[in-house]
Structure 1
Amino acid sequence: MSSRSTIMDTNSFRDEHAAALDEATRSLTERRKDLLGASYRLFYRRPVHLVRGKGAYLWDANGDKYLDVYNNVASIGHCHPAVIEAVYEQMGRLNTHTRYLHETILDYSEAILATMPEEINRAMYMCTGSEANDLAMRIACEWSGGTGIIVTQESYHGTSFLTSGASPALGSGQNLSPNTRLVPAPDHYRLAGQDAGAWFAAEMQKQIDDMAAHGIKFAGFMADSIFSSDGVLPGEAGFLKEAIDVVHKNGGIFIADEVQPGFVRTGESFWGFGRHGLIPDVVTTGKPMGNGIPVSGLFARKEVMEAFSNHVPYFNTFGGNPVSMAAASAVLNVIKEENLQTHTQKVGAELLGELKKLQDKHESVGDVRGAGLFIGFELVKDRNSKEPDKELALDLIEALRDEHVLTSVAGPYGNVLKLRPPLAFQSGDIDWLTGALDRSLTKLGR
């Protein structure tokens, strides 16, 4: 059996933690387990019971306020009034499926495609990122005539049958598809001194050659351009181009999974792939698109999409419904009206600078890297060997929880704090986060 890690179990509540809970919290965890079963996971050894949110903040059932440094679901901020108003107004008029004419889906498509390279000019809609990536994989197979998909070693792309088979971050309990190949993620921290672009391109070619040796025709490479689940690995802008050239040279397509790096999250461009100067063949998105309303999208080059859409009908009952499109339109308007790309770049740079000061102060902080409001904070046992310190990372997020700061971990070693707050995060919130990190690391003796 594979020894792959799992994003589901790294930071999670377990039965052995129950004895330390107060009676009300323990009762809720037991009720949840009885009703929802064993597959669901809760964050933290002492799960947080949340009841309200606004902007970058959350409140628990006791009225305690938390700083959210993790959620890109409410991408522009929890309970943003523009989204609430748009959903309420549209729900009061009409909500149905896409087999009737309706302007909202067309207006949104024109607006969202305007944020992308002109070569990407077709749109389709679903409810979740898993559905979008599932469809993208089907399109890749139709376009190429192959079935082989390459992803990075700790990537996560969804929970459908196809996407779970290409999501090694789900762990060893989830079998990968025999047509999936894993390429090492470009860990620039550990590739120090090497040409990361050339290295990654060579690793891509190795996996394509391995497919061919096993009689599998290559269909495509799917990745989010900041390698979120692999430990937040932004790298230098542009380094991905060589690997994508290899993908195209071998007849495959590049699927840019923008569920995490998209919608100005990385600051330097509207889309994560933009900071590398790339033009993907297919772009997928999900969570941040509707600020909590289930909606996702797939955007593609006309000729690539038509390899599928010209002969396979597609229908998704709730995908692209008027209420979801109203929410998505509101999100897009807020990003423009509140100038969130500039905000994200500016505040993200301020935050990165302050976090690097903690790296100077605490030997256990091996690396701090990021783009915009998407930052990886890596803990190590020894800076020279760069040995990961998973235990410290897990203790640290629990200590941060006690400081009322919410985040989690990522990466194959589970030792990287994924700092990804709602874009409502402000310069004034930086002291709360960095102060909590400083105090927690000191308390933990690291």
Structure 2
Amino acid sequence: MTTPFSRRTLLGGAFAGFSALSLAACGVSQDEDTDVALSNEEVTLRFTWWGSDARHEVTQKVIDAFQKENPKIKIKGEFADWVGYWDRLATTFAASDAADIVQMDELYLRTYADRGSLLDLGKTKEFLKTDGFSDISLAAGQAGGTQYALPIGNGSLSAVVNTRLFDKYGVDLPDDTSWTWDDFADISAKIMEASGGDVVGSGALGTEAGLLTIWARQHGGALFDDEGKVVLDPAIPAEMWEFNRKLAGKGQPSAESTAEQLTAPLNQTWLVLGKQAINFNYNTQISSLQEATKEETFKLLQLPQAAGGSAPGFYYKPSMYWSISAGTQHPAEAAKFVDYLTNNTEAAKILGTDRGIPANEATLKAIRPSLDPTSELAAAYNDKVASVVADPPALTPAGASDINNLTARYMQEVLFDRQSAAEAGKKYVEELTASVENAK
């Protein structure tokens, strides 16, 4: 199953409380001309981000390096943990007191962009270059065709396999360029049977929205359209959850064990403990997974595909973004700092892969020789799937930022036989749609 670590770190978490009024009054109109020119005076910019103490430390080093090169631009750092960050960000935007440079997440990007809270980065192109980004990476930071954010790092969902368990129970690793979900089910069942039930083959699917998005794309669907409307066919999550229900206790954990694992800390997840052979995680999590165990050896495989399907469904999901507040009084200086964060090779060497494998191809090239082995595994996986990566899905609209908790809740309704898969799929889409509509 996808661990709570992956849902919290890369796809979002507990806070979903954006009201339609909380952001509506902030920012400048994107239809207005913005004077983007460097000031002749000393300028102070506020820069806000979330993360660990280690992230705060390397970010301050980058700030110091930038200020040394640009003595007339002072950067004041502000940071918080994940949940506290979004509470504070909503409050500061509502009060027209937002930081100039904002670390942003996909779950909330469209919410802020649609309400005019973020600057159109196209207006800052004199100071902010985007040549190092592929069109696919840039598209992941666009809403309505406007560039509101630059991806910091690229992540890709992967099947993390414990090679030791495959070897121990005599199961061959699949050909990940062609395996299907039926193959995945067979392998999961074989491992569980060979272990006498001591090891499960895999975790449950559909515990968060990232995998559901790929499943939908593999079956010709999508969760949202470019206008922010819910377009998901209820039959798509229903099929995924019914797939889980049939595997529960036969290749995957029981419903009770799945529920317990959803709240387990990383070092107590079955994948880390050597009790599970396959899990679905973003490639960038491999370092944390490997660090949490000293015994297990992991390998990253591409996700299974739909039988007879022609679309793998893969896409790069930005680990996070850099955005500039539409209300900044110093757009040129803010853009110059974001340019330093994204394009400067010395900055890249300081930041490393703390915020993901760099989406900027030039800076990734600069730091790649110094990547540790597990970070190199993540980078190599991005290379591996590059040929099948498609355009990113539509951004998560306002009102849908709690989609991961919603997805996990309905998945459990099916596993515990409280609802049929068809009923859960229908109610899931209805609740998701209502949340999006109520946020307008």
Q: TM-score, length-normalised on structure 1?
A: 0.28
What is the TM-score normalised by the length of structure 2?
Answer: 0.28
Q: Counting helix residues as a fraction of each chain, which structure ranks higher?
A: 2
